[in-house]
A and B are shown apart, each in its own frame.
Chain A
Amino acid sequence: MTPAPRLRVSASPRLRVSVLLLAFLSPAAFAQPTPDTLLRAMRDELSRSRGLKVLSLEAPYFIEYTIEDGDSTEISASLGGLLSVRHNRFRIPEIKVRVGDYKFDNTGYVGSGYHFGTHYDIEGFPLENSYEVLRRFLWLETDSAYKSAVEAISRKRAALKNVAVSQPLDDFAKAEPLKKILEIRQTPLDEDAWSARVRALSAIFEAYPALRTSAVELSAVETADYYLNSEGAEVRIPDNMIYLMARAEAQAPDGMALHDAVIFQSLDFGRLPAEPELRRGVAAMAASLAARAGAPKGEDYSGPVLFEGTAGAQLFAEVLGRDLALNRRPVMEPGHNGSVQVSELEGRQGARILPEWFDVVDDPTQKEWRGHPLFGSYAVDREGVAPVPLSLVEKGVLKTFLLTRQPVPGFAGSNGRARLPGSFGANSAAISNLFVRAAETVPAQDLKKKLIEMCRQRNKPYGVIVRRMDFPSSASFQEVRRLMSNAEAGRPVSAPVLVYKVYPDGREELVRGLRFRGLNARSLKDIVAAGDDNNVFEFLNNQAPFATIGGASYVAESCAIAPSVLIDDVDLHALDEELPKLPIVPPPDLRAEAGRP
């Protein structure tokens, strides 16, 4: 059914050559592209669904079918023993129906996205390509999505009888229908080899008895993303990701709980670091956490802070990245108390948000940077829109935002940044590859000297260097909840993991138990110097606070490339919490156990 897409695009001879080359490299590519039954079933049922309407109720003006068709393998181990090995073949359909029109539809209401009424008892979507069965499932799912949409728009209209909307905006922006059918290749994961590797990596922690808990987890997902809509978009793209994480917890002698994680990730199964590098990374994290558990507690501090290396990129990814997306408040019944996280940058387009020697570009189309594959690259977003490079900040001035097809004040029209599911029937915008560039830099190694100099001028006994932040956070959900509820005004920012006091003589001292206070996107205006380094920080973004690992079911592969930065005025305060006591029973002697036959 689907014409051979490789042949269709290879109109130019140059392209044909590259395709042939690829074919030689990958045996799977020899196979003729098989007719895609799933795609055909989606196309046919979507086209039939345009006829949906109930007498006296409106017909759908927009229908969208998304199916993630894939395989996942998850392997976890602790201290040399496998905890679980799970392979999952899945198809996750997501069907959205909009009734009304682009100006006013069923979304953007506090009940949008909820399921009203009939829920057909669909236990699982067919994993096999039976055209009729696929049609039948799509039919039922469309039916219930349509009924929910009709219910939501009538409730929204009712709510609007009683509340006035200050800024009437359209509910949905038009977009060019994209046709992009890419070939999907299977590269099965060697489950046994990876099980052995995960087990072996988890055994590294046996040498660190000071750590309370530890685990190594591998997740490899290979997906074909299908996206079709009634405007004519038809997309099929591969979407693969491999992710290896080692995490651990420790308890300091005073009882303070500490945690850390090290993560390796790639869009390409074959491009995770080799085993020796993985082992080094895991051991370094374990040693660093053990050292932190033995370090003294930090004290309250107010003054210049150097975000060095990874921490600089993490800072931009978190505090700038999250505020570059705008959230729209939904229509609510009067008295309904729904809070929406408001961006610090809302309404500040045209204003200076960084020193004038800073530029910020978000570019998902770039696949590599100085030989390093970029983790935040993607071809099409969740709304079937191909993203374009965006110049977000020019000479310190905010130019635009990350946008989806949901219009926000001042902007209508997507720039292809719908990367995560959002609230009230919309999607959320998020960064891809965020390039933060400073035109005026100092050699990175001189930033520490500059920090010391600033402290000297201000008669401070020491300055502070942050080398890594807990972003995305490896904290437990209880801890995240505590952090959120203890947070003062504004959105809290991730805790710093590696914090060093720097004395005037250059000596450094690792301290623990500090949190930022009042650090946010506005703090970036106080950057006084940037290094000439470029730190590539890759991470899985999600909608949870601090992008907490495992905190939300949808993730967006992301990357920030940024220099180290010195910020003038940052407040750190010492954690003041009740601390759990140390265990009464000492831990078992792991090395004795490991040595047993």
Chain B
Amino acid sequence: MASPALGVLFVCVTAAASAQSSVLLDTMSEELNRNFSTLKAKADPAPYFLSYEVTEEDYHGVSATLGAITANGHGKSRRLDVCVRVGSPKLDNYHQVRGERTQFTSGALLTFEDQPASIKHRIWLETDRAYRLAAERLIKIRTNSEVKVAEQDASSDFSSEEPVVRLETVPHGRFAADWAARVRKLSAKFSDDPGILTSSVSVSYQDETKYFASSEGNRLRYGRGFARVVVSAQAKAMDGADLATSETFEATDPGNLPRDEVIAAAVERVAADLRALLIAPEASPFAGPAIFSGRAAGVFFHEIFGHRVEGHRQKDEEEGQTFTKSVGGKVLPDFLSVVFDPTRKKAGNIELNGSYSYDDEGIAARPVTVVENGVLKAFLMSRSPIQGFDHSNGHGRRQPGLEVVSRQSNLFVESSQAVPEARLREMLVAEIKRQNKPYGLYFRDITGGFTTTGRQGLQAFKVIPIMVYKVYPDGRPDQLIRGVDIVGTPLASFAKILATSDRPQVFNGYCGAESGSVPVSAVSPALLVSEIEIEKKNKSQDRPPLLPFPVEGR
């Protein structure tokens, strides 16, 4: 053991063995049984449920700017999430209490080697830590429920589900060594553009394997890869406005990322868009008809609709509960349906970021029709039941280190009133004329947005478009504008959707909420809306750089 040479040999052996070994899962199960049985026998309050989730990540990434590498790294990690439930499924330590956010797990770093002693010791420590917090909170909750008025939703705190045992063989992609040379070359394409202040091309690959064991008998190993290319550029307009454009490509295997020509074309587009934005006029506040491209519509739906059908929000009395009482009622126009389906791996030939086989509570992924022909049918469910929905539908998700809540997966907007894109544009022009507006809007790209679902805030959303065009009814070419945000309230906005195109587009991204950042997708056709409101974006007051671009040395 003491000799370094022996030690090195040892690494090689374990690394090879851990490729698909069950040492980790076996060790987790053994320590789970030992902790659970002892706590059950000796602890007061006793736990009725214990689970361990380990997220193993093999990460590679390289970034470059203007032909020079800025970061190049790789790493391996395993993080442990412990869930201890004390009390009973009816009332346990995870019970939602107004204004409180529960946090028991810590996402502790576990050895990435298959070393049972090290693994077990850390699991034991984390179980002890989580158990203490759980017991303390249960006592507080019991007191709280005696002092406060009854909650409107008297659902249990934990659903009963069938345990699953399944050890999948997780495919491992290979991160090619030539990526550094490729991003160096690709990023150099921004060099000719003095107006672009900063830019980058980066590629990353995360090979993720999850291991799950629970006192109910779950034993799972599954996973997937997340490969991504991000092309981005930033500039500052003469009036101080900060401008940014970007494009991304996603795949499960880095081998399926696009070829250099395709990425180079994206670099061209990102640069061209930014150049165009630099000279685009600043827009004025406006309300009128608009088209959202499929990608923009996907983000729009994710923000203003998706977050409001996350199950746990329906029983949190701090939440706005936009749709809580609407099950069976009409929430969208008749021609629209919304399905969340983590089991679909692709849309067209684009791989979807929000696909998975199990959620973070060990529940098998499945499609969930949330809205059918405009009528609300279901919510996205974790194992936290709500009135009328006793079971999980495989949408309990988290980033390691945070507690699971219900989250979105792959969102699909489906339409029975789909027309070709050209026809949708004609309909927009007709609508502009009908409303007697000087112009309408076309939202080509939206970076993201945010929405308040809490009761204390406004029940409103803001969506941040990058590429917005004025569409004139008289046939003049579209005009790019900048400096606007889309604002609105959800219920009013849904009622104004008039039609969709027949060509779905994919937006792959990461969504941030209580349980951290999780990969998601949104797939939607373009939407025509009768009215949307834009407001001026808050902008920097600073001037562009005072000194000119540095000239070349010699």
B547 and A128 form a contact (CB under 8 A): no
B547 and A49 form a contact (CB under 8 A): yes
A583 and B75 form a contact (CB under 8 A): no
**Residue A126 interfacial (CB < 8 Å):** yes
**How many residues in B have their beta carbons less than 8 Å from beta carbons of A?**
68
**Residue B545 interfacial (CB < 8 Å):** yes
A193 and B4 form a contact (CB under 8 A): yes
**Residue B542 interfacial (CB < 8 Å):** yes
**Residue B495 interfacial (CB < 8 Å):** no
B547 and A79 form a contact (CB under 8 A): no
**Residue A526 interfacial (CB < 8 Å):** no
**Residue B38 interfacial (CB < 8 Å):** yes
A133 and B117 form a contact (CB under 8 A): no
On whether A584 and B552 interact (CB within 8 A), knowing A128-B69, A132-B66, A279-B2, the answer reads: no
Contact with A along B172-213 (1 / 0, CB 8 A): 000000000000100000010000011010000000000000
Task: Write the nearest CB–CB distance from B213 to chain A, whole angstroms.
Answer: 15
Which of A13-21, A22-30, A198-206, A222-230 forms part of the interface with chain B? Answer: A198-206
Q: Measured between alpha carbons, how far is A134 from B68 in the docked complex, in Å? A: 9
On whether A196 and B70 interact (CB within 8 A), knowing A79-B118, A143-B547, A584-B128, the answer reads: no
**Can you offer 23 A-B residue contacts whose CB atoms are under 8 A?**
A40-B553, A49-B547, A52-B546, A80-B115, A81-B118, A118-B242, A118-B540, A126-B65, A129-B68, A131-B552, A133-B67, A136-B550, A138-B550, A139-B547, A190-B4, A192-B8, A193-B8, A195-B8, A196-B8, A200-B1, A206-B117, A585-B34, A588-B124
Q: 14 new A-B pairs (CB below 8 Å) besides A82-B112, A83-B111, A195-B11?
A: A44-B550, A79-B111, A123-B65, A126-B68, A135-B550, A140-B198, A142-B547, A192-B11, A195-B8, A200-B1, A200-B7, A585-B39, A590-B117, A596-B116
- CB neighbors of A among B51-65 (8 A): 63, 65
**Residue A157 interfacial (CB < 8 Å):** no
A51 and B547 form a contact (CB under 8 A): yes
Task: Write the nearest CB–CB distance from A331 to chain B, whole angstroms.
Answer: 24
Q: Measured between alpha carbons, how far is A190 from B122 in the docked complex, in Å? A: 28
Q: Which residue of A lies closest to B198 (CB)?
A: A121
Which of A85-93, A231-239, A288-296 forms part of the interface with chain B? Answer: A85-93
Contact residue among A84, A190, A594 (Cβ-Cβ distance under 8 Å from B117): A594
Q: Measured between alpha carbons, how far is A196 from B116 in the docked complex, in Å? A: 17
B68 and A203 form a contact (CB under 8 A): no
**Residue A147 interfacial (CB < 8 Å):** yes
- CB neighbors of B among A566-593 (8 A): 580-581, 583-588, 590, 593
B38 and A77 form a contact (CB under 8 A): no
A84 and B71 form a contact (CB under 8 A): no
Residues of B within 8 A of A86 (CB): 73, 75
Residues of A within 8 A of B330 (CB): none
In the A-B complex, the 9 residue pairs with the closest CB atoms = A196-B7, A81-B111, A81-B118, A124-B70, A81-B115, A593-B117, A126-B68, A118-B542, A79-B118
**Residue B409 interfacial (CB < 8 Å):** no
On whether A83 and B110 interact (CB within 8 A), knowing A121-B198, A199-B7, the answer reads: yes
B542 and A117 form a contact (CB under 8 A): yes
Q: Which residue of B lies closest to A131 (CB)?
A: B553
- CB neighbors of B among A143-194 (8 A): 143, 146-147, 190, 192-193
B110 and A196 form a contact (CB under 8 A): no
Contact residue among A79, A89, A585, A596 (Cβ-Cβ distance under 8 Å from B128): A585
- CB neighbors of A among B483-516 (8 A): none
- CB neighbors of A among B113-165 (8 A): 113, 115-122, 124-125, 127-128, 131-132
B124 and A587 form a contact (CB under 8 A): yes
**How many residues in A have their beta carbons less than 8 Å from beta carbons of B?**
76
Q: Measured between alpha carbons, how far is A124 from B184 in the docked complex, in Å? A: 14
A197 and B540 form a contact (CB under 8 A): no
Q: Measured between alpha carbons, how far is A63 from B314 in the docked complex, in Å? A: 57
Task: Write the nearest CB–CB distance from A458 to chain B, whole angstroms.
Answer: 45
Residues of B within 8 A of A82 (CB): 111-113
B43 and A146 form a contact (CB under 8 A): no
**Residue B427 interfacial (CB < 8 Å):** no
Q: Measured between alpha carbons, how far is A44 from B115 in the docked complex, in Å? A: 53
Residues of B within 8 A of A80 (CB): 115, 117-118
A85 and B75 form a contact (CB under 8 A): yes
**Residue A297 interfacial (CB < 8 Å):** no
Q: Measured between alpha carbons, how far is A593 from B128 in the docked complex, in Å? A: 20
Residues of B within 8 A of A128 (CB): 68-69, 184
Task: Write the nearest CB–CB distance from B155 to chain A, whole angstroms.
Answer: 30
Contact residue among A122, A133, A586 (Cβ-Cβ distance under 8 Å from B68): A133
Interface of B is mostly: mixed
Q: Measured between alpha carbons, how far is A81 from B120 in the docked complex, in Å? A: 11
On whether A585 and B112 interact (CB within 8 A), knowing A84-B75, A124-B70, A200-B7, the answer reads: no
Contact residue among A121, A127, A212, A587 (Cβ-Cβ distance under 8 Å from B70): A127
A-B contact count (CB 8 A): 199
Q: Which residue of B lies closest to A200 (CB)?
A: B1
Q: Measured between alpha carbons, how far is A206 from B112 in the docked complex, in Å? A: 18
Binding site for A on B (CB under 8 A): 1-2, 4, 6-8, 10-11, 31, 34-35, 38-39, 42-43, 63, 65-73, 75-77, 109-113, 115-122, 124-125, 127-128, 131-132, 184, 191, 197-198, 200, 234, 236, 240, 242, 244, 540-543, 545-547, 549-550, 552-553
On whether A588 and B121 interact (CB within 8 A), knowing A82-B113, A124-B63, A135-B553, the answer reads: yes
Residues of B within 8 A of A138 (CB): 550
Residues of B within 8 A of A192 (CB): 4, 7-8, 11
Q: Measured between alpha carbons, how far is A596 from B63 in the docked complex, in Å? A: 43
Q: Measured between alpha carbons, how far is A77 from B553 in the docked complex, in Å? A: 47
Contact residue among B71, B124, B542, B552 (Cβ-Cβ distance under 8 Å from A124): B71
A85 and B72 form a contact (CB under 8 A): no
Q: Among the interface residues A121, A143, A192, A279, which one has the most CB atoms of the partner chain B within 10 A? A: A121
Task: Write the nearest CB–CB distance from B5 to chain A, whole angstroms.
Answer: 8
Contact residue among A52, A78, A193, A585 (Cβ-Cβ distance under 8 Å from B127): A585
Q: Measured between alpha carbons, how far is A575 from B510 in the docked complex, in Å? A: 48
Q: Among the interface residues B38, B111, B125, which one has the most CB atoms of the partner chain A within 10 A? A: B111
Task: Write the nearest CB–CB distance from A17 to chain B, whole angstroms.
Answer: 36
Q: Which residue of A lies closest to B184 (CB)?
A: A128
Contact with B along A104-137 (1 / 0, CB 8 A): 0000000000000110111111111111111110
Contact with B along A53-90 (1 / 0, CB 8 A): 11000000000000000000000011111111111110
Q: Measured between alpha carbons, how far is A379 from B242 in the docked complex, in Å? A: 42
Contact residue among B67, B76, B549 (Cβ-Cβ distance under 8 Å from A130): B67
Q: Measured between alpha carbons, how far is A86 from B61 in the docked complex, in Å? A: 13
Q: Which residue of A lies closest to B116 (CB)?
A: A593
**Residue A103 interfacial (CB < 8 Å):** no
B4 and A197 form a contact (CB under 8 A): yes
Q: Which residue of B lies closest to A57 (CB)?
A: B546
Q: Measured between alpha carbons, how far is A53 from B7 in the docked complex, in Å? A: 59
**Residue A275 interfacial (CB < 8 Å):** yes
On whether A83 and B112 interact (CB within 8 A), knowing A132-B552, A196-B4, the answer reads: yes
Q: Measured between alpha carbons, how far is A84 from B118 in the docked complex, in Å? A: 13
Task: Write the nearest CB–CB distance from B191 to chain A, whole angstroms.
Answer: 8
**Residue A213 interfacial (CB < 8 Å):** yes
Q: Measured between alpha carbons, how far is A200 from B121 in the docked complex, in Å? A: 17
On whether A130 and B66 interact (CB within 8 A), knowing A118-B542, A192-B11, A588-B117, the answer reads: yes
A117 and B540 form a contact (CB under 8 A): yes
**Residue A45 interfacial (CB < 8 Å):** yes
Residues of A within 8 A of B75 (CB): 84-86
**Residue A48 interfacial (CB < 8 Å):** yes
Contact residue among A121, A139, A203 (Cβ-Cβ distance under 8 Å from B550): A139
Residues of A within 8 A of B35 (CB): 585
Residues of A within 8 A of B4 (CB): 190, 192-193, 196-197
Contact residue among B109, B124, B540, B550 (Cβ-Cβ distance under 8 Å from A45): B550
Contact residue among A51, A195, A588 (Cβ-Cβ distance under 8 Å from B7): A195
Q: Measured between alpha carbons, how far is A146 from B198 in the docked complex, in Å? A: 18
Residues of A within 8 A of B540 (CB): 117-118
On whether A52 and B547 interact (CB within 8 A), knowing A81-B119, A118-B540, A584-B39, the answer reads: yes
